[in-house]
Structure 1
């Protein structure tokens, strides 16, 4: 699988998030207490951006700022309504100090 660079690990401290676009897909990358996770930056309920939502670092969850659906950042699964479909997640690779994502 191709790898794309996100940023140096030092630029994504705990609780920080970063978005990027790859092949017309917006991707959200989050540092959950040292665990780097990546998922599509799209609420499956209404396609709104998740990046501006409330982040729960301890639970690795993010809440859609539009209608309150919560998503598990590890799996992309929705945890609350109104969302009921998961969003895509992306494997994260640390290459030295660089965060990279596996994308297809």
Structure 2
């Protein structure tokens, strides 16, 4: 998936909201943090569970299974039991649409 995929129109994802997109290759979670958009792979690197069932606190998401924290902006693992980051994806706004792409294979 090296092409851009539309997630939503900008007005459809209000600050504090998130949306998960299944690209067929990955589940990608897109977050609106105070009007800026960030995308991370929706996977806890500790055990492969989904992150999006967890609570968002500032720019962090807390894994609902074991409490590992990840930075939504950078994908960094911030607390045990996760030690490896989750992947981040480029996000752009094109004609009012929020778009993401999986740049891992470029």
CA contact (8 A) 1:4 1:103 kept: no
Where does structure 1 lack aligned partners over 5 or more consecutive residues?
none
Match in the other structure for 2:60: 61
Q: Structure 2: how far apart are the matches of 1:61 and 1:96?
A: 28
**RMSD of Structure 2 on Structure 1 (CA):** 1.0
Q: Which has the higher strand share?
A: 1
CA contact (8 A) 1:93 1:102 kept: no
TM-score when normalising by structure 1: 0.93
Q: Structure 1: how far apart are the matches of 2:42 and 2:21?
A: 9
- Written as runs of structure 1 = structure 2, the 5 A alignment for 1:83-102 is 83-102=82-101
Number of paired residues?
102
Where does structure 2 lack aligned partners over 5 or more consecutive residues?
none
- Written as runs of structure 1 = structure 2, the 5 A alignment for 1:1-104 is 1-56=2-57, 58=58, 60-104=59-103
